[in-house]
Amino acid sequence: MGKVLIIGAGGVATVAAHKVAQNKDVFTEIKIASRTKSKCDALAEVLNKKYGTNVTTARVDADSVEELVALMSEYKPDIVMNLALPYQDLTIMDACLATGCNYMDTANYEPKDEAHFEYSWQWAYRERFEQAGLTAILGCGFDPGVTSVYTAYAAKHHFDEMHYLDIVDCNAGNHHKAFATNFNPEINIREITQKGLYYENGKYIETEPMEIHQPLNYPNIGPKESYLLHHEEIESLVINFPTIKRARFWMTFGQQYLTYLDVIQNIGMSRIDEICYKAPKADGTGDEVVKIVPLQFLKAVLPNPQELGENYEGETSIGCRIRGIRGGEEHTYYVYNNCSHQAAYEETGMQGVSYTTGVPAMIGAKLFLKGIWKKAGVHNVEEFDPDPFMQELNEQGLPWHEIHDGDLEL
């Protein structure tokens, strides 16, 4: 049915590649390209052995539009799945426009030198994608992604008007490391050390980092302290569902994690500016002054999120808690998925956080190739029909559950 180019060979890309290979009736040709080709080759070998596919690979620096254009002009994919880092969103979108390829990603653009994410940079491409007749699907992981589709599904089937939306993200897993992040450490630490932000009555309200928190009960897990964070899907959801009066995002953190994070910040290791460092030359002929970014250096010494899977116990629980009106009466609705780290590891070799992101990425690309999620322009996932996506979630390993008129706690 279609050719896919996966860019990136990290945790999320590995899961997405497994899922793409499991759906080879739709993904008839698969290429994986990333900065380090040996990682793509190792992944392709596993997939070809396990699923009988013929996955090919390439090296590409996705910061270079020129390199991307050369690769895409030669391979001619129907859709490019951007599973590299948010820094590469715009270069990959530029290359898609230059070569007539459709685009999808799981995280919105972030400049390298500023820990700041918002959709304006990517929404600025709307007209160009529309005029080229190309589809760009933004934010097709779990959050954003599934949480945005859950919200669209709630609006379509359960409410006349949604008023209060709380997205709740719990990781109750234990990887037995003193400190590790569940996805790219640089992106993760940039995200959670920012100020909190939520939407209320047409305005955004800023909080200090981790200032607002409370215990919330997660199904099959129990109470976990949950912290209000700024998260990107809030920005598009309040525009696409304008009856929402308040929208917030909550994520759980353990006390040990927060203590480590505090230390990392206080000793300057979360800095994203360049510092000069006197390092011994590789050939042993003295020292040289090199520039390093402390957070990138920290990433190099922290556990690799891709290697957490083997000893990871427990599960994630992510969902939407919504209050609104139906038939003139107030109702509540909670829709969520719980995902076991061990089950994710057994299927794909990766832990649950990569799994919950990679599976929806594959589903978005699959619905595009089937012509169901195909719409010229740049769109957040909640702008597409949620029903086929919800059906695929049940079939592809992320089944969802509903609680009607329960206590939302929020």
Binding mask 49-78 toward ligand NDP (x if CB under 6 A, else -) reads -----------xxxx---------------
Segment interacting with ligand NDP (CB under 6 A) among 8-16, 43-51, 254-262, 392-400: 8-16
Q: Write out the binding residues for ligand NDP, residues 98-117 only, by CB under 6 A.
A: 106-107
Least Cβ distance, residue 39 to ligand NDP (angstroms):
5
C-beta nearest to ligand NDP: residue: 10
Of the pair 153, 159, the CB lying nearest ligand NDP is at: 153
Of the pair 61, 130, the CB lying nearest ligand NDP is at: 61
Q: Write out the binding residues for ligand NDP, residues 334-353 only, by CB under 6 A.
A: 353
Q: How far is CA 9 from the centre of its chain?
A: 14
Least Cβ distance, residue 75 to ligand NDP (angstroms):
15
DSSP for 148-177 reads HHHHHHHHHHT-SEEEEEEEEEEE--B-S-
379 sits in the region (left: phi over 0; alpha: psi -120 to 50; else beta) called beta
Of the pair 10, 377, the CB lying nearest ligand NDP is at: 10
Of the pair 56, 158, the CB lying nearest ligand NDP is at: 56
Binding mask 139-168 toward ligand NDP (x if CB under 6 A, else -) reads --xxxxx-----------------------
What are 281's two structure tokens? 């030359």
Q: Write out the binding residues for ligand NDP, residues 180-239 only, by CB under 6 A.
A: 183-184, 187
Indicate which single residue of 4, 9, 261, 302 sits in contact with ligand NDP (rule: CB under 6 A): 9
Rounded Cα distance, 229 and 208, in Å? 10
Least Cβ distance, residue 131 to ligand NDP (angstroms):
27
Q: Residue 56's beta-bridge partner residues?
A: 31
**Residue type at position 41:** D
Give the binding-site size for ligand NDP (rule: CB under 6 A).
33
User: What angle separates helix 146-157 from helix 233-240, to the nearest 10 degrees?
Assistant: 20
Q: What are phi and psi of 61, to 5 degrees?
A: -95, 105
Rounded Cα distance, 310 and 340, in Å? 12
Least Cβ distance, residue 48 to ligand NDP (angstroms):
19
Beta-strand pair 287-292/275-280: antiparallel
Indicate which single residue of 20, 47, 81, 85 sits in contact with ligand NDP (rule: CB under 6 A): 85
364 binds ligand NDP (CB under 6 A): no
What are 159's two structure tokens? 């409410």
Q: Are 377 and 132 in contact (CB under 8 A)?
A: no
Least Cβ distance, residue 3 to ligand NDP (angstroms):
19
Beta strands in 172-252 (DSSP E): 196-200, 203-207, 213-218, 222-229, 246-252
Of the pair 107, 210, the CB lying nearest ligand NDP is at: 107
Q: Are 101 and 73 in contact (CB under 8 A)?
A: no
Spell out the residues 6+ positions from residue 230 whose beta carbon is closer than 8 angstroms to its own: 194, 195, 196, 197, 198, 249
Of the pair 102, 357, the CB lying nearest ligand NDP is at: 357
Beta-strand pair 275-280/377-380: unpaired
What are 327's two structure tokens? 């038939």
Of the pair 55, 187, the CB lying nearest ligand NDP is at: 187
In the complex, which residues of this chain contact ligand NDP (CB under 6 A)? 8-13, 34-36, 39, 60-63, 83-86, 88, 106-107, 141-145, 183-184, 187, 305-306, 353, 357
